[in-house]
Amino acid sequence: MGEQPASKPKEPVKRAARATKAASSTRADTTRADTSAKPTREAAAVKPAAKKSAAAEGAADKTAATRGTAAKKAAASDAAPPKKAPGTRAKGGPKVQGGMTAQGKGGAQGKTAGSKPESRLAMIRRARRINRELAEVYPYAHPELDFRNPFELLLATVLSAQTTDLRVNQTTPALFAAYPTPEDLAAANPEEVEQIIRPTGFFRAKTKSIMGIAVAVRDEFGGEVPGRLEDLVKLPGVGRKTANVVLGNAFGVPGITVDTHFGRLVRRFKWTEQEDPEKVEAEICAIFPKSDWTMLSHRVVFHGRRICHARKPACGACPIAPLCPSYGEGETDPEKARKLLKYEKGGFPGQRLNPPPDYPGLPAPPLGAG
């Protein structure tokens, strides 16, 4: 009984010890919690970034794969030629080979078949450059009909229809010797005139035309060939082409002469698509300054007769090939092309019996000389 009171004081001590131990345990748990919480927050911050990085890498891989596929397709497309029959030609253009024009290198002809169409400004610049190049190639260009005055040039131009200038030049000396003036020809015997001009072909119709011209010049213009286009086209057998030849070469009035050669070449050069001579004349006049019209006509005709022929153009020997969109329509081998050159370019006589002093070729032989 006496020992019980002595044990009571120990209980508060135990409770205090338990409280201290609990507090210590709590602090340790808190410390551990804080320590473990920091990596957890950092990991939480890193995880989204890792996810974003992984997504970016995945997107890059997909992009690279897509690009690789596209590159393979492009390479296959470049390697494969267009699905066209061999030798297929775009309308009005050169043959297409493997997506490129036959010329391949340089200038207007080096464009791919599906390239953007040439603008009008670019065409005008190219056309004027061709004119400058032709001026260097043919500094001696001139009318290829022999004449001494406007009347002789007018008759020679009418006679040149459906024949060559050479044949006209071989025929007119006898005509001009027999009938030197409009008055002489107007009073001539038609049958005698026919016999003289027979070599030029269509001699009956031509006799009627030139004698009609002689009568009109004598009766309506006082024996002088008129110097205005509106007067010239009223004469028998005289159209705009003949009028422009006479005006440009006998009177110094600029004009475009649209003959067979001129029309063919300006369409090959893609200066116009017109076929009607008057429409061709109007479109070409709009491209060049008026001061160039007459000499441009001579240069283009010279080029058409000597190099850019109707059936076998000598493309391989053409000095303006880099500017020509129709390169490849003719012979492109330089050696073979040189064999196609005509007149002075090929070492042969020209068309005039009496060429200008600066003409580098040989005079044509008279009629019957072989």
Which residues are identified as catalytic? 241, 259
Cα gap 227→96, rounded to integer Å: 49
Return the structure tokens found at 217.
Answer: 């010049």
Return the structure tokens found at 149.
Answer: 């005055």
Cα gap 200→215, rounded to integer Å: 21
Cα gap 74→165, rounded to integer Å: 56
CB 270 within 8 A of CB 258: no
Cα gap 361→358, rounded to integer Å: 9
Cα gap 150→250, rounded to integer Å: 5
CA torsion 191→240→256→266, rounded to 10°? -90
Cα gap 34→15, rounded to integer Å: 28
CB 321 within 8 A of CB 109: yes
Return the structure tokens found at 158.
Answer: 């009418």
Return the structure tokens found at 283.
Answer: 């479109």
Cα gap 134→138, rounded to integer Å: 6
Return the structure tokens found at 320.
Answer: 């303006």
List of E strands, the chain: 96-97, 100-101
Find, among 299, 294, 289, 301, the residue nearest to 259 by Cα. 301
Cβ-based neighbour number of residue 159 at 10 Å: 28
List Cα–Cα distances, 3 to 70, 72, 141, in angstroms.
101, 103, 152
Cα gap 370→64, rounded to integer Å: 78
Find, among 149, 165, 307, the residue nearest to 217 by Cα. 149
* Bridge partners for 101 per DSSP: 96
